[in-house]
Amino acid sequence: MSKKPYIISGPCSAETEEQLIETAKQLVKYNSIDCLRAGIWKPRTRPNSFEGVGEIGLKWLKTAGVETNLPVTTEVANAKHVELALKNEIDVLWIGARTTTNPFSVQEIADALKGVDISVMIKNPINPDLQLWIGAIERVYQAGIKNVKVIHRGFSSYENSPFRNNPKWEIPIELKSLFPNIPIICDPSHIGGKRNLIETISQKAMDLEMDGLMIESHIFPNDAWSDAEQQITPKELQKVLSRLIIRQTAIQNEDLKDKLSELRTQIDIIDEEIISQLARRMDIVAKIGSHKSNNNVTILQAKRWENIILNRKNIAKSLGISEGMIESILKTIHEESINIQTRILNNEKH
């Protein structure tokens, strides 16, 4: 993809031919988009809700694409969907988050795509499992598909969050480091779940050097048959895109390069100190584990752990550091500490 950001837009679901074609026409009128999307089959969490119009919607989607001179894309969840999408000359397919979670389903789709020259996009799995995402990419690659993109749409979580799906930005960042040549499209609609979050999430994606955006758009979003709260009108999309700041990825200014190099050297030194101090901490953790083992004391000391969290968060607050970040770091350290002491107790018992 040479153009950045690559914009995919269209309604969550194809509802009627008129709705889909009019949405496409307004998208082109107000925006420079690269691909038209619409859901044809909608995998709903529970039955008895709108689950898509089915095969007839593929014809509507293709017609809308032809009338607006846009390639079109839709989600496929099984081999039959692939067959029907190819029959109707859909240009790009995407594998949804629920499907990515199931390697059997991904393999079925990959087998149906063997020998086909088509672009395929793969959404992250619902749960934050990087290996499942990688596995889906590998299965599609092994089917001979050369043009692969991924879509970051966030992850389900029981934690309280302002997002419908927690973005967990560190996961797509790690995927990018493993597959630097695969474009990453961000889906702010599904991450936020609310239209007022789309612009903020889109800007964050651009700041993290993601390659494009998939944003749901509908001519009458409040009346949409699915995911009404996260869709925006084509004209609202124009406002979101016009306000995006696309930052430079390459640094041309030599003075700036020198300043950043100096600051990054300082960060490298601090990181080494942090790792050294963590090693010392784990040595002490091991000694505590030996004392607990010798005295038949449980590994987890809940009251001590509560006091650590409270105390360290207060220190972080006083220093202007995110309390949430410190808590997350401490939880990771605590988990490793428990693992170390568990090994010590088990080894000394045998």
At 234-262, the pLDDT tens digits run: 999 999 999 999 987 777 788 888 888 89
Under CATH, which architecture does the 254-349 domain have? Up-down Bundle (1.20)
Q: What is the mean pLDDT of residues 18-38?
A: 97
On the question of pLDDT at 3 being above 70, the answer is no
Percentage of residues in the chain having pLDDT higher than 90 = 83
What's the pLDDT score for residue 348? Answer: 61
Tell me if 215 sits within 8 A of 38, measured CB to CB: no
pLDDT for residue 146: 94
Q: Report whether pLDDT(293) > 80.
A: yes
Residue, of 209 and 46, whose pLDDT is higher: 209
What's the token pair of residue 162? Answer: 């302002």
Interval 101-117 mean pLDDT: 97
Is 254-349 in the same CATH topology as 6-243? no
Asked if residue 160 has pLDDT above 70, the reply is yes
Higher pLDDT, 311 or 301: 311
Q: What are the extents of the domains in the chain?
A: 6-243, 254-349
Q: For 169-207, how does the pLDDT look when each residue is reduced to its tens digit (9 = 90+)?
A: 999 999 999 999 999 999 999 999 999 999 999 999 999
Which CATH number applies to 6-243: 2.170.190.11, 3.40.50.20, 3.20.20.70, 3.30.420.40? 3.20.20.70
Whether residue 349 has pLDDT greater than 80: no
Reduce the DSSP state of residue 188 to 3 states and report it.
helix
Q: Give residue 51's pLDDT band: very low, low, confident or very high (50, 70, 90).
A: confident
Q: Measuring CA to CA, how many Å separate 38 from each of 141, 248, 341?
A: 24, 32, 52
